[in-house]
């Protein structure tokens, strides 16, 4: 089963049928599927490098009125299917605004909020769903690995990019390579704090995506608690997390440095100039706390490598401008 096919069982039958027809009618577009968006009383939309609306027959619509109209009941039933027919099991997800499906597929939620004294309690009614398809592309990080190690150890690395440019996919592959000892001086023990469940795609605690044989994963655990749990109990040589940027995350990185353990992480930023301007990330960059910064973009499609920078000298070590490709 392909990655996109994994999300079909979570959709209501009529939406699932339309997307199955779309897969048959446009297999080349289906292979590039990035998102499926359901909005109550709006056309069914998919993202395949560009936005497409889909007709009831499963072909791209040339006009909005030709597209399948998603009903509010479709959205509600889809959320129920994702929660195993129990919204109670999704209580925390409705508070955070996202669900992670087995396989690492992230589902963003929006709608009517329940608020108490200015504090968001949870989403009371979901009216929009954005399903982001996770992909596993083994070997895409191989060209970067010579730049990310020194004297046999992984360097402190941050991957930055705008949204949907392949940060998590690249992070997953680099973790796998370090853990398995592929194209690196020696394998290392990796501790992965997979707070949103997107990196390893764990189901009942077992990774469904390949993050390597020497990787210990904490799924759904806050970064700070997870990092110190792994340091106390698993003795990692490399700590990996996804999407840092909050002030507390940066304090945590400094504490990791004090233990002598390396780290690899991701953050939202367009380039190194943008990184230097963001209050939440500027400290890491300006103080040279990261040794390598990998910059991705969508210029040539998701996973376009713009270059690798030395975090201390701020010099470009590698400027490329081509898409990272999976290796056999």
Delimit the domains of the chain by residue range. Answer: 4-132, 142-323
Q: Of 41, 40, 37, 39, which is closest to residue 52 (Cα–Cα)?
A: 37
| Percentage with pLDDT > 90 across the chain | 65
Residue-wise pLDDT tens digits, 191-238: 999 988 889 988 778 888 999 999 999 998 899 999 999 999 999 999
Rounded Cα distance between 17 and 9, Å, is: 10
Over 90: is that where the pLDDT of 37 sits? yes
| Continuous H helices in 87-217 | 91-96, 167-180
Higher pLDDT, 327 or 179: 179
With cut-offs at 50, 70 and 90, classify the pLDDT of residue 100: confident
In this prediction, residue 89 has a pLDDT band, given cuts at 50, 70 and 90, of low
Supply the CATH classification number for the domain 142-323: 3.40.50.300
Predicted local distance difference test score (pLDDT) of residue 84: 78
**Whole-angstrom distance, CA of residue 219 vs CA of residue 200:** 8
Rounded distance between C-alpha atoms, residue 311 and residue 159, angstroms: 12
Q: Which helix (H) or strand (E) holds 192?
A: strand 190-194
pLDDT reported for residue 25: 92
The helix-helix angle for 279-286 and 247-259 (nearest 10°) equals: 30
Residue 328 reports pLDDT greater than 60: no
- Mean pLDDT over all residues of the chain? 91
pLDDT for 108 equals: 92
Mapped onto helix, strand or coil, the DSSP state of residue 118 is coil
State whether CATH 2.10.240 applies to domain 4-132: no
Least confident of 84-88, 133-137, 192-196, 297-301: 84-88
pLDDT tens sequence across 53-78: 999 999 999 999 999 999 999 999 99
- Maximum alpha-carbon separation in the chain: 61
Helices (H), the chain: 13-25, 27-30, 72-82, 91-96, 167-180, 223-233, 247-259, 272-277, 279-286
d(CA 144, CA 50): 28
Does the pLDDT at position 44 exceed 90?
yes
Contact 72, 40 (CB under 8 A): yes
**152 pLDDT band (50/70/90 cuts)?**
confident
């Amino acid at each position: 089963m392909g990655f996109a096919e994994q999300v079909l069982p979570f959709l209501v039958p009529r939406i699932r049928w339309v997307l199955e027809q779309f897969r048959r009618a446009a297999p080349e577009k289906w292979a590039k599927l990035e998102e499926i968006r359901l909005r109550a009383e709006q056309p069914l939309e998919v993202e395949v490098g560009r936005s497409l609306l889909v007709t009831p027959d499963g072909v791209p619509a040339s006009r909005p009125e030709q597209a399948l109209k998603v009903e509010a009941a479709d959205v509600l039933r889809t959320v129920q299917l994702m929660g195993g027919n129990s919204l109670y099991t999704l209580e925390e997800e409705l508070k955070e605004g996202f669900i992670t499906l087995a396989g690492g597929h992230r589902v963003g939620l929006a709608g009517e909020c329940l608020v108490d004294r200015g504090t968001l309690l949870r989403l009371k009614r979901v009216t929009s769903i954005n399903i982001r398809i996770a992909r596993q592309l083994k070997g895409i990080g191989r060209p970067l690995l010579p730049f990310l190690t020194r004297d046999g150890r992984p360097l402190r690395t941050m991957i930055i990019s705008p949204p949907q440019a392949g940060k998590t996919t690249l992070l997953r592959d680099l973790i796998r390579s370090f853990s398995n000892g592929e194209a690196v001086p020696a394998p290392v023990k990796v501790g992965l704090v997979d707070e949103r469940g997107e990196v390893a795609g764990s189901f009942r605690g077992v990774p469904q995506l390949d993050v390597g044989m020497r990787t210990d994963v904490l799924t759904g655990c806050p970064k700070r608690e997870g990092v110190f749990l792994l340091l106390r109990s698993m003795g990692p040589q490399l700590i990996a997390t996804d999407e840092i940027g909050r002030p507390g995350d940066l304090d945590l990185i400094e504490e990791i440095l004090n233990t002598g353990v390396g780290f690899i992480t991701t953050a939202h930023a367009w380039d190194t100039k943008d990184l230097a301007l963001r209050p939440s990330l500027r400290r890491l960059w300006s103080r040279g706390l990261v040794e390598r910064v990998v910059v991705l973009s969508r210029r040539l499609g998701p996973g376009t490598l713009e270059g690798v920078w030395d975090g201390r000298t701020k010099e470009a070590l590698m400027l490329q401008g081509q898409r990272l490709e999976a290796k056999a």
